[in-house]
Amino acid sequence: MNIRIRDAGAGDGAALHAIVRELAVHHGHADDFVSSPMDFELFLAGPNPVGGALIATCGDAPAGCAIWHRSFSTFRGRETLYLEDLAVLPQYRRRGIGSELLKAVARLACGRGLPAVTWLVMDWNEEARRLYAAAGAEIESGNSVCRLSGAALERLGS
């Protein structure tokens, strides 16, 4: 096992897309996954990027990734880091890659002088919750995610 974690960059869009697609399927949201590899290239290399990604490789193969973006906490009054996705492909699980990716995200936040990393976890995802609690995260249940999109967004915003 030769796990490495590095910043994702130009050319990594297809790997990120494949890893996040597997995550979407795993969470039962395959139908909501409409992004393309090129979307991830543009996310990584477009002008004024809102975030970035870390990629874990095992040998030369992509094994997992962490995708983050900038955020702002009004309670802290400071920019913070939001972890949009942390995902490890099934065949690479139970090797500590998720923990290593989370550590790399924490290093990234500390290096940028940010006071916090926040993210969401589904209540049913016991394995992920254990990993996050072991890393020292506070976990606050009782939240719902609201999404306004499509025709509802156009109707309200027109």
Q: Which residues are catalytic?
A: 132
* Stretch (H or E) spanning 22: helix 13-26
Distance CA 33, CA 10 (A): 22
In the bound complex, what is the minimum distance in angstroms from residue 157's beta carbon to a copy of itself?
Answer: 3
**Identified binder of a copy of itself from the candidate list 3, 18, 45, 116, rule CB under 8 A:** 116
Q: Which range of residues in 3-11, 35-43, 55-63, 89-97 is near a copy of itself by CB under 8 A?
A: 35-43
Note whether 62 and 15 are within 8 A (CB): yes
Question: Any contact of residue 77 with a copy of itself (CB under 8 A)?
Answer: yes
- 13-26 and 37-45 helices cross at what angle (nearest 10)? 120
**Identified binder of a copy of itself from the candidate list 15, 43, 58, 89, rule CB under 8 A:** 43
* Stretch (H or E) spanning 126: helix 126-134
Question: Any contact of residue 106 with a copy of itself (CB under 8 A)?
Answer: yes
Q: Which range of residues in 4-12, 55-63, 90-98, 132-140 is near a copy of itself by CB under 8 A?
A: 132-140
Question: Any contact of residue 20 with a copy of itself (CB under 8 A)?
Answer: yes
Question: Any contact of residue 92 with a copy of itself (CB under 8 A)?
Answer: no
Question: Any contact of residue 57 with a copy of itself (CB under 8 A)?
Answer: no
- Show Cβ contacts of residue 69 under 8 Å, excluding neighbours closer than 6 positions: 50, 51, 52, 81, 82, 84
| Tokens of residue 143, six digits | 């939240």
Note whether 75 and 67 are within 8 A (CB): no
Q: Which range of residues in 2-10, 16-24, 55-63, 89-97 is near a copy of itself by CB under 8 A?
A: 16-24
Question: Any contact of residue 14 with a copy of itself (CB under 8 A)?
Answer: no
* Stretch (H or E) spanning 38: helix 37-45
**Identified binder of a copy of itself from the candidate list 22, 39, 45, 95, rule CB under 8 A:** 39
